[in-house]
Every structure is written in structure tokens, then in C-alpha cells.
């Protein structure tokens, strides 16, 4: 398990990609030929409601640390992962890895439901995804971030290497 260190919290509050104040702006920026990952309940729901179905969606059924009653439903295979707040568990990492490799092979969509918190899932998504991947995630009270995984892969690896490893 990787544990987020306090000194990294500030660095992770900065968007890793382009920050859009509205979802419609972010949606308009999306290339149509890319593999799309969405992290977060609101981001995933907004994509689906606008007719864009992420190849991989990651949710925790919570919005800003409060239980969500939003129904996120699309033609996706459901996977589950355990991930306490402030961590990246082996369960989450391996489930993302499985969903990405399976989606590429089968062209199925996957939805990972996290028991815990999905906030830090953006980092393994960046590291594990291929160059043609766009990741969307919410920036609380600011908007939505759209990031091309290949542009920030090195940065994500640097951040992950600063997490504390726990066994």
C-alpha cells in the first residue's frame, strides 16, 4: 500500500492537466479517437449524461466526502476495489491494471467501484495507461481537469515515488 505524505497534499491540489471551469468546456476539448478514463462520481456521471461513455470510470459513490445518491449506469463491466482515503492500495492498482488491459483487448467499458476513496486513482491511471489516453477528474470547487496521460506520466511517477510504502 502506498500512503500519501502530508507534504505531497499541496502538490496534488494543482491540476495535472488543463482545468476547465465548466464541464461543457471540458467535453468540447475531448478528441474523439482517444481512450477515456473518468475519475470521480460527478465527472463520470456528467460524461455519461452528455453521451460520452468512458472506457474506464472510477467512482466511490461519494461526492466531496458525502454519500452520493447518483445512479451511474452504462454498459460497463463492474469491478470492485478497496482503497482507504489517502492511499493507493494494491487492490486499486491491480483493478485499474486489469480494467485497462481487458478494455483494450475486448473493447468493453469498465466501471470500478471503490470501497473507500478514489481521489488518488488518477496517478495509477496515468502511469498504467497508454499514450492515447485522456483522463478527466474533478478539481473540487474549481471544475474538471482534462489530462493527456502521456504528457504527465513522468510527473505521476515522481509523485508516486514520494508516497510512503506500507506492507
**Confidence (pLDDT) at 64:** 56
- Of all residues in the chain, what percent carry a pLDDT higher than 90? 75
The full DSSP string for 19-76 is: EESSHHHHHHT--TTSEEEEESHHHHHHHHHTT---SEEEE-SEETTEE------SSE
The pLDDT mean for the chain works out to 91
Q: How confident is the model at residue 149 (pLDDT cuts 50, 70, 90)?
A: very high
**Confidence (pLDDT) at 70:** 63
pLDDT in tens, 11-39: 888 999 999 999 999 998 898 889 999 99
pLDDT in tens, 56-95: 999 998 765 566 666 677 889 999 999 999 999 999 999 9
Amino acid at each position: 500500500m502506498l500512503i500519501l505524505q502530508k507534504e505531497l497534499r499541496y502538490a496534488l491540489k494543482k491540476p495535472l492537466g488543463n482545468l476547465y471551469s465548466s464541464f461543457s468546456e471540458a467535453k468540447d476539448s475531448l478528441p474523439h479517437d482517444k481512450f477515456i478514463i473518468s475519475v470521480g462520481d460527478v465527472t463520470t456521471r456528467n460524461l455519461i449524461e452528455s453521451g460520452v461513455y468512458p472506457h474506464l470510470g472510477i467512482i466511490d459513490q461519494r461526492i466531496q466526502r458525502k454519500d452520493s445518491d447518483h445512479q451511474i449506469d452504462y454498459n460497463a463491466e463492474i469491478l470492485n476495489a478497496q482503497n482507504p482515503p489517502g492511499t493507493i492500495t494494491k487492490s486499486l492498482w491491480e483493478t485499474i491494471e486489469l480494467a485497462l488491459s481487458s478494455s483494450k483487448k475486448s473493447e468493453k467499458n469498465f466501471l470500478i467501484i471503490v470501497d473507500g476513496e478514489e481521489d488518488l486513482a488518477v496517478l495509477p491511471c496515468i502511469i498504467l495507461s497508454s499514450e492515447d489516453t485522456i483522463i478527466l477528474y474533478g478539481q473540487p470547487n474549481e471544475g474538471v481537469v482534462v489530462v493527456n496521460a502521456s504528457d504527465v506520466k513522468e510527473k505521476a511517477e515522481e509523485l508516486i515515488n514520494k508516497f510512503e510504502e506500507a506492507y
